[in-house]
Amino acid sequence: MVQRIRLVIHGGLIDHEDGEESRQPRREALQQILDAGYKVLESQDALQAVIQTCALLEDNPLFNAGTGATIQRDGQFRLSSGLMDGHRQSFSGVINGRLIKNPIYLAEKLQQFEDRLLDSTGVEIQARNLGLDVYDPATPELVNRWAEFRFTPRFTRSHGTVGAVAVDAQGKLAAATSTGGRFMAGAGRVSDSCTPAGNYANEACAVSCTGHGEDILDEALATRIVLRVTDGLSLDVAVERSFHEAKERSRDFAAICVDCDGNAHCAETIGLLVAAYRNDAGAFTTTL
Ligand code: ASP
């Protein structure tokens, strides 16, 4: 059988009540980015496809990562990313990096180093060593929102995280995830996205998560799904079982997944996942 290639991307979770004015621009952005990502997947490999796709999602201010990333309670932007090369079984990432444009590109570069998961101090040093430009991810909209809510912090699901999972023509899998974290989270709080709970892949399956980071960590969600597939469950059953357990524990999150046969699965517990992929006939398919 010919190896089926697949790329699934996401731009976080929104509320079911969010209307067309919120859905339509996200749908359009997903379609453009998915098209660009497929070109990379067809000409290069799964790892490059998830990196390039994630960078495009980071560059789009509609999504909570890179430019347009959300802000912590002290008014600072702290960006995190995770990159998992499923073929080489190698994880790298950025924890609460500041003043960088594309945390996923830094995660990519870190794959060649011994120290592959850096906090803000390491990011500052390595980003400069590697010649990455100083970049302020703030948008006026986010700074204004912070100013509005700084004395009355409140939970909102209106942002999310971005991510991509892919399997290439050689059957190699990869996962990339990037985030600004939670709006008005406490200073220095760390997202799940830079951990194998939020972003994981091996030779059987690749998963990227979004949603309440602490819930994702508690369930070790990405790793849980990947290991279930590795141990022989079909992707559908692995995801359904993991989400059934999560719903019983009132978790708030979502995941996109692919397996080595090119099957795709997207799932959420309560919010509405902003995700897209091409179906078997090659048609753009979205969860929005
Ligand atoms: N998972 C991210 C975090 O908890 C945010 C999100 O996906 O909504 O930082």
Per-10-residue mean pLDDT for the chain, 288 residues long? Answer: 91 92 96 98 98 98 94 93 98 97 97 97 95 89 86 65 98 98 92 98 98 97 98 98 97 97 96 95 95
Please tell me the predicted confidence (pLDDT) of residue 83: 98
Model-level pTM?
0.96
How high is the pLDDT of residue 46?
98
The whole-number pLDDT of residue 19 equals 92
Radius of gyration, alpha carbons of the chain: 17
Give me the pLDDT at residue 2, please.
Answer: 76
Q: Residue 283 has what pLDDT?
A: 96
Phi, psi of 109 (to 5 degrees): -65, -35
Strand order in the sheet with 272-278: 117-118, 90-97, 79-85, 173-179, 162-167, 6-14, 272-278, 284-286
> How buried is 34 (Cβ within 10 angstroms: 0-12 exposed, 13-18 middle, 19+ buried)?
buried
What pLDDT shows up at residue 154? 64
43 C-alpha to ligand 1 centroid (Å): 31
- DSSP-derived letter for residue 59 is H
CA of 118 to the centre of ligand 1 (A): 19
Report pLDDT for 98: 93
Strands (E) across 51-172 are located at 79-85, 90-97, 117-118, 162-167
Is residue 210 within 6 Å of ligand 1 at its C-beta?
A: yes
Residue 211: closest CA among 164, 251, 242, 174: 251
DSSP reduced 3-state for 10: strand
Give the number of the atom of ligand 1 that is nearest the alpha carbon of residue 159: 8
- Which of 13, 70, 155, 182 to probe ligand 1 with, by most ligand atoms within 8 A of CB? 182
Q: 266: which 2 tokens? A: 């997207």
Contact 76, 53 (CB under 8 A): no
- The pLDDT value recorded for residue 101 is 96
**What DSSP character marks residue 154?**
-
CA quadruple 165, 169, 171, 175: dihedral, nearest 10: -20
Distance, CA 85 to ligand 1 centroid (Å)?
21
